[in-house]
Amino acid sequence: MNVPSFEFLAFAALVALAIHASDRPAWRRGVMILANIGFVLTFTHDPRALAPFAGLLAFGFASLKIMEFRRGKAAFVPLLLALIVGFFWLKRYAFVPHEMFLPFSYFVVGMSYVYFRMLHLVIDAYQDALPERIGLAAYVSFTLNFTCLVSGPIQMFQDYRRTETGQPLPLTWQLAGDGLARIVVGFFKVSIVSPVLLYAQREAIVALASTPGSFGRVIDGGLVLTLFPVYVYYNFSGYTDFVIGAAKFLGLSLPENFNKPFFAQGVIDFWGRWHITLSNWLKTYVYSPLVLSLMRRIPSLKLQAYVAVFAYFVTFFLVGAWHGQSTKFLFFGLLTGFGISVNKLYEVVMARKLGRKRYGALNARPLYAAFARGLNFTWFSFTMLWFWSDWPQLGKIASLLGGASIPLILVCVIAAAALALAGLERLSRGLERLTFPSLRVAWYTALAVTTLSVEVVLNSPAPHLVYRAF
């Protein structure tokens, strides 16, 4: 079953009706378990194709129970390593020998997001941080939650627990209206905006081979560089809007995953706004433990200020490694880790030279903030090159542009992004202050009509979700 789609909406509506038929927690949990399993079965009915995924889930549950009853490091470390190795093996990472892979195709949709929830449970059980011992029903309901199975967001069990033992969110008219608005916006982003952006980027790539004059190639090169990350944002954030809205009708509250990321003034700020639940997971289970461990071993207070630089690099290198199984995603991880560690190093140096107050005042200056946004957007666009291309294609594009054009393209992109994002940021702040309910209704109605026209009248194919592969 594709998400977003009318089919998914119909499925979620049936589940919502069943959930609200009773207030008993056991009833709601039973409905969600059946819905989760039913959702998985829409992708495949082949038991062999489901067996590896089921095996990973079973091993995760066994590891959780072991940690609940025996919290020693002697058991935790081997179990954690086994979970990590098993995930790399099932996801067919390039560094795993090909001969070791299973010789048949199997279900992997949402495996990464389920895996993060499993690790979260096992680690928190080891640290005695879970609110209660978790039974099989709660484990299955949490890890396979169909609203966020395909591409997140990554919810923590402590946040999900309220739907297991307490009352769900009451389905009021206000809640239903908010949920419907998120669904409409999400559907519009995924079905209308993101395909147009992807088409424009592909057309710009084609145009590079025939565009006369260096000025035209600079424009096309800038579009090739910048359109894809904007496409990914609308595609992924649209999916998140859609499932957050649908979950409201089920009495579920899913965490936000985006917060205007292109308005960020640096790489650190950006990853606090982009794929927020992944960033928070890595900060909780990788960055913070690594920083604490290193600080215990480094007595010098001067050197401790630079510990975060190294910890940021390691953490966000893992972001790249998670995004794909091939070596080009390791390169994406290197660039991401390098960018965020340089950003942190810059903050440390500037805070020492200017002082925190003067450095904060510098960040607040409009011209400085605009340049920082443009630079951050350009860097992110550069790191995303390996999401849609490979080395041969990038070499071909570079030869078409010419060596002299590439620095000019980067300068132009920084300047254009700085101006555009400064204007959009001011417009966004202005729109947030407007409170006209009738105007909001008209806006969402227009989005809904446009989306329905494309999906039904034009009979367009189901939108492709970028992050489904993870």
- 199-215 pLDDT, tens digit per residue, is 999 999 998 888 777 78
Looking at the whole model, is its pTM more than 0.85? Answer: yes
Query: Rounded mean pLDDT of 80-107?
Result: 90
Q: CA 469, CA 460: separation in Å to the nearest integer?
A: 22
- 321 pLDDT band (50/70/90 cuts)? confident
Task: Indicate whether 193 pLDDT > 80.
Answer: yes
What's the burial of 106, exposed, middle or buried (CB within 10 Å: 0-12/13-18/19+)? Answer: middle
Task: Indicate whether 346 pLDDT > 60.
Answer: yes
Non-local (6+) Cβ contacts of 344 within 8 A are 268, 308, 309, 312
Non-local (6+) Cβ contacts of 469 within 8 A are none
Task: Indicate whether 445 pLDDT > 60.
Answer: yes
Tell me, what's the pLDDT at 31?
A: 92
Task: Indicate whether 462 pLDDT > 60.
Answer: no
**Phi/psi of residue 335, each to 5°?**
-65, -40
Tell me, what's the pLDDT at 430?
A: 81
Percent of the chain with pLDDT over 90: 55
Q: CA 214, CA 202: separation in Å to the nearest integer?
A: 19
Tell me, what's the pLDDT at 438?
A: 75
Cis bond upstream, residue 261 (ω within 30): no
Query: Rounded mean pLDDT of 297-303?
Result: 76
Which 8-state DSSP code applies to residue 283? I
Taking residue 366's Cβ as centre, other Cβ atoms within 10 Å add up to: 10
Non-local (6+) Cβ contacts of 181 within 8 A are 245, 440, 444
- 164 pLDDT band (50/70/90 cuts)? low
**31-45, 96-110, 202-216, 259-273: least confident range:** 202-216
Tell me, what's the pLDDT at 416?
A: 96
Over the chain, what is the mean pLDDT? 88
